[in-house]
């Protein structure tokens, strides 16, 4: 505990930022945690399972919690973070139905427990976790809340996944209303609506190789990192509301 306190003091002295990043165990969340922060930054990383890339001297403070239990998870995270300033809150969470995005998907087969779990994880947990750290965000001179949405949350998409789509539309509602609540605090609230991602490739894979291997059908994770860098680089005088980023060859919209 003492060493963690010393690390925090060091970060504050060197002008480092504090990140709260959800879903860091794999995919986009892993890429964000490893590529977006700088070496002087403090990262609180949230996931149910321990990421396999963490080491003893990692700057990432892993917090284990199950976001399908919204109240318990938000209380656990807040208890560990305490009064630490949060500069960037990134909610990269999105689970979907069985057989989603395949021809086998059938809404009629979705169980009540699956739908409830989706809503709890993708939406309820997001709302409660934002609410629990508002005072932490207010300590920052240029705080940003960034929710990772989906093109399944945009008007007139052609996807069939009902519960997943409902949660991604809901995220946009959260962003619009939350922005009005936090406008006086100059806290930026944004959503990044993404299409199909090349999550099977390591974050160190070159963009050129990803494009070649996916025939340009998937978004390289580096492109998403660049979009996030843009949002956090803006001043408190600007408001980035939404960024829509489908793959070039994505016909879902």
The CATH number of residue 168's host domain is 3.40.50.720
Residue with tokens 């949060």: 86
Residue 198 falls inside a structural domain: yes
Residue 57 falls inside a structural domain: yes
Residue 252 falls inside a structural domain: no
Residue 82 falls inside a structural domain: yes
Residue 251 falls inside a structural domain: no
Return the structure tokens found at 134.
């508002």
Give CA–CA dist 234/33, Å, rounded: 20
Residue 228 falls inside a structural domain: yes
pLDDT band at 8 (very low <50, low <70, confident <90, very high): low
Give CA–CA dist 97/14, Å, rounded: 44
Q: 189: which strand partners?
A: 145
Domain with 155 in it: 2-245
DSSP assigned state of 183: G
The pLDDT value recorded for residue 56 is 61
Would the pLDDT of 11 be above 70?
A: no
114-152, pLDDT tens digit by residue?
Answer: 999 999 999 999 999 999 999 999 999 999 999 999 999
Residue 16 falls inside a structural domain: yes
Residue 58 falls inside a structural domain: yes
Is 238 exposed, middle or buried (CB count within 10 Å of its CB: 0-12, 13-18, 19+)? exposed
Query: Collapsing DSSP states into helix, strand and coil, what is residue 212?
Result: helix
Q: What is the total count of domains within the chain?
A: 1
């Amino acid at each position: 505990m003492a060493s963690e306190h010393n690390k925090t003091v060091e970060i504050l002295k060197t002008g480092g930022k504090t990140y709260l990043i959800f879903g860091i165990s794999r995919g986009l969340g892993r890429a964000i945690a490893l590529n977006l922060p700088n070496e002087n930054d403090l990262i609180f990383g949230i996931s149910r399972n321990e990421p396999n890339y963490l080491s003893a001297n990692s700057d990432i403070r892993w917090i284990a919690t199950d976001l399908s239990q919204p109240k318990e998870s938000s209380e656990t995270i807040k208890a560990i973070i305490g009064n630490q300033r949060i500069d960037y809150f990134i909610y990269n969470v999105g689970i979907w139905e069985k057989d989603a995005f395949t021809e086998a998907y059938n809404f009629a087969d979705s169980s009540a427990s699956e739908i409830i779990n989706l809503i709890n994880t993708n939406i309820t947990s997001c709302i409660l976790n934002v609410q629990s750290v508002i005072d932490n965000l207010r300590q920052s001179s240029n705080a940003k809340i960034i929710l990772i949405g989906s093109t399944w949350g945009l008007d007139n998409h052609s996807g069939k996944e009902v519960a997943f789509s409902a949660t991604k539309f809901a995220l946009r509602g959260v962003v619009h209303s939350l922005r009005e609540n936090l406008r006086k605090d100059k806290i930026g609230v944004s959503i990044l609506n993404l299409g199909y991602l090349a999550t099977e490739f390591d974050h160190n894979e070159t963009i050129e190789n990803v494009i070649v291997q996916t025939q340009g059908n998937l978004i390289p994770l580096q492109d998403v990192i660049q979009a996030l860098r843009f949002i956090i680089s803006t001043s408190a005088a600007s408001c980035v509301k939404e960024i829509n980023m489908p793959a070039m060859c994505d016909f879902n919209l």
